[in-house]
Structure 1
Amino acid sequence: MLELEDVGFHGHHAPLLENVSASIGEGTLSEITAPTGDARTALALICSGRAAPDSGRVLIHGAAETARLRRSTALIDSPGITAPEHHMRARDLISESLGLIPRRRGTRIPATAQWIAEQEVADIADRPVDSLPSELRLWMMAELAFADPQVELVVLDSPDRHDISAEGLSETLELTAEPSERTVLAILAQEVLR
């Protein structure tokens, strides 16, 4: 589904990424590691089509189509980019996320109240997002991303930066990848999936 071929990206003073290659299969849970927070965010932006690599290629379904990659990929929890603002309530995040899904003829996007009821999260809907356990917050953002029928791939930027154990993160990532046709990529500081 997603292929990185010798991807490189230069920061302001030095290369952030050099010769990164990976193949992410459809319906898989995968991880790629990068050494710094800036490198992880750069890689997440590249994998989701929000930034172009300085070298190498990114392919989606075998083609170098940035617009298709951007449209079929959701970038989750990227610091300073897509991470929810601290003042937001869960209900606000849900409403905003669902509201940003493009409406197309024949596409059914649930209303906020319906999504809350279907996901059985009414008990946390009025809580601030940053007060939620990290596992719940990550799961909720991934579920909201997959509510968009065009999203084929969810890219999580540095989910291991949160207060969460490696075991808890592994379980959360596995949960976000269910059902099995979902494709999830986590950009991490170190490997957590075994």
Structure 2
Amino acid sequence: MLIADSVTVNGRHDQLVPPTSLQVMPGEVHLVVADPQISRTALALALSGRMKPTTGAVSWGHADSLKTLRQHTALLDSPEVNEPESHMKVRDLIVEDLALIPGPIWRKPRPKKWMEQHGFSDVATQWADAIDPVRRLELLLLLAAENPKIQSLVLDSPDRHDMHDEMWLGLLLDFAESHREFAVVAIVANVPYDWDGPVSHLGSSWQEPLEISPPETGLLDTALLIDEAPEQEEPAAEEFVQEELDLDLPEPASEAKDN
């Protein structure tokens, strides 16, 4: 479980992240609404262990060390931090990310075989930032999943790209609900219209529930509905529709003795 307890991040002149608390369970996608972009990035860095919070703490499970948090959490596509650089081709991005997986070289996937297995051979020579944004996001998620220690995924502003909300949300749900049961955090500018999963806001505490505005109904109309309407079963909540994607996630490997 990823836990943030009253996390704050101060910038050079202003506070970028006011006290924010949240928890994300394995197998769950949790959206955090934050604005502006610099605050989204600061929170993403703190939640992934790449930046020490000014106050508060972020932990993975029962371990509260930044080292443990970094080992188990991947930061994806953070603007001006680790988003794919414009001069990198897809094959270069794959080679670089696979090389960074901890462990002996003989245990790491071969880039060419990896591209063939996951269906990226056709875009290998294209610029990484120019391919279809859905495939680009899937590529980044699959590369992060190659590290067997990764259990949590933190995405910085996945909604900034030119793709429908159901596409990037569908990808995140597929990874959360896979056999690896990733705890997924997406820091976004707005909540997608059809999303009914967990949501936190910048500056939210444990006690703050998500406010839902009641329908605009007059008192007289309400009374008539109570007196005259027959009892009916409540309609099932509208389910979030996602496109099923065939993800071939690697099984977590046992840790080498030198790790």
The two structures have a TM-score, normalised by structure 2, of 0.70
The amino acid across from 1:117 in the alignment is: E
Q: CA deviation at 1:12?
A: 1.9
Q: Partner residue of 2:110?
A: 111
1:184 correspondence with 2:197: no
The amino acid across from 1:146 in the alignment is: A
Unaligned runs of 5+ in 1: none
CA RMSD, 1 decimal: 1.7
| Separation of aligned partners in 2, 1:177 and 1:138 | 14
| CA offsets 1:21-47 (integer angstroms, 9 cap, x no match) | 100111222221211100000011001
| Separation of aligned partners in 2, 1:87 and 1:115 | 21
Q: Partner residue of 2:218?
A: none
Q: Partner residue of 1:18?
A: 18
Residues matched between the structures, number: 193
Unaligned runs of 5+ in 2: 197-259
> Is the CA contact 2:2–2:61 (under 8 Å) kept in the aligned structure 1?
yes
Q: How does 1:1-194 map to 2 (within 5 A)?
A: 1-104=1-104, 108-180=107-179, 181-192=181-192, 193-194=195-196
Q: Which moved more, 1:115-124 or 1:44-53?
A: 115-124
Q: State the SS of the aligned residue for 1:130.
A: coil
Q: State the SS of the aligned residue for 2:147.
A: coil
Identity %: 37
> Is the CA contact 1:10–1:16 (under 8 Å) kept in the aligned structure 2?
yes
The amino acid across from 1:22 in the alignment is: L
| Separation of aligned partners in 1, 2:176 and 2:137 | 12
The structure where helix makes up a greater share of residues is: 1
Q: CA deviation at 1:173?
A: 2.1
CA pair 121-159 structure 1, distance change in 2 beyond 3 A: same
Q: State the SS of the aligned residue for 1:171.
A: helix
> Is the CA contact 1:3–1:62 (under 8 Å) kept in the aligned structure 2?
no
Q: State the SS of the aligned residue for 1:43.
A: helix
The two structures have a TM-score, normalised by structure 1, of 0.93
> Is the CA contact 2:78–2:156 (under 8 Å) kept in the aligned structure 1?
yes
The amino acid across from 2:163 in the alignment is: I
> Is the CA contact 2:60–2:72 (under 8 Å) kept in the aligned structure 1?
no
Q: State the SS of the aligned residue for 2:144.
A: helix
> Is the CA contact 1:158–1:188 (under 8 Å) kept in the aligned structure 2?
yes
Q: CA deviation at 1:168?
A: 2.4
